[in-house]
Structure 1
Amino acid sequence: MGNYHHGDLRAELVRVSLELIAEQGVTGFSVAQVAKRAKVSAAAPYRHFPDRTSLLAAVAAAAACRLRAMVDSAVADAGSDPVSRLATALGAYTRFFIETRLGFPVLFAEGLADPKYTELHDHRRAMNDAYLVLGLEVSPTPAAALELLEQLYAQSHGYGELYLDGVYARMGYTPDLVVTKATAAARLVIEAHRAAGQR
């Protein structure tokens, strides 16, 4: 059996899950794979997670928490300009997705809307709020901020997806270059949005 830190099997299963998804994505992710990687019996994970969705909810909660920390760190270094702050936050999402494969498909995976996943909902709300605060800084109304964020999420996710799918990698783009491009593209959208709101 595995020798996990302080005997905390639950935390080890989440850690291993994060590792597996970063390597191969969420497709095909299974409790059996996680148990094998963690070097525990196939039944051991079920003492902490009754099914795959419960384990995925814990993984998504950890991912949302990690993304929030990356956004906060990136924005802290972005200065006081609200356009730069929001664009940098979107670049942080692209970097996070490339590095971990824990993007929106995991954070909002099917089955995770169940109210019983309170830890996930709390961390996901904090992550969303971090982006919403930044969106409100450049938008005339909350509704406009939400619409802008929807556009930016799709764009920043697309940059990461094109890299992970191999399109940008075949073009010789490094992850850093993709993040730079994603951030620049976000800035263009934000500036256009802000100018339209000021008319």
Structure 2
Amino acid sequence: MLFENQRVTPSVSGAGEFMKAALEGAEAIVLAQSSMEELVKVHKICRRRPGMKLLLHLDSMKGLSKTPEAVSFLAGYIKPDALITSSPQAAVEARRHGITSVLRCFAFDEESIDSSLKLIERANPDYVQVVPGVIPVTIRLMRAKTGLPVLAGGLVRTDADVCRAEKAGATGITSSCPDLWQAAYVSRAKRS
């Protein structure tokens, strides 16, 4: 379980932010909006810190595409604990390689929700990430319709956002807001 042990999972863009989040107590961290060079640095950090989980946002990585070939490469050389992607094909390939798959769905109206549900059915991911993660009704709906654990991501910036997502049934929350990486947010044990 990658997201259930943390209230907020930090989403970072490089090795420096990765270390900052790790020092706050995060065991699982998303690497997004980053380069291959930073990915290699973060991979080295993870190898030196047993128990550290690397969750890779495939779609936003510079130098990688969201293809089955990219997933195979990552599975062979980087071995991330999870891949976050909007590509059903990449999600399927991740699962084939034993990597936890998170299908990222943009859900902001009925049409986008219906489209997302079709993609989820094709991909059969381990988790669904709802973006933006600040719409409680969407979190509840996706959880009810899919039966899968739902993550809230995108635009989660405040304590109130975190609380609303949790009340709506989000299994986990990802955020690039450093204020939400503090130990009180990262640890489930300190949950109010």
Q: TM-score, normalised by structure 2?
A: 0.28
**Could you say which structure has the larger radius of gyration?**
1
Q: TM-score, normalised by structure 1?
A: 0.28
Higher share in strand: 2
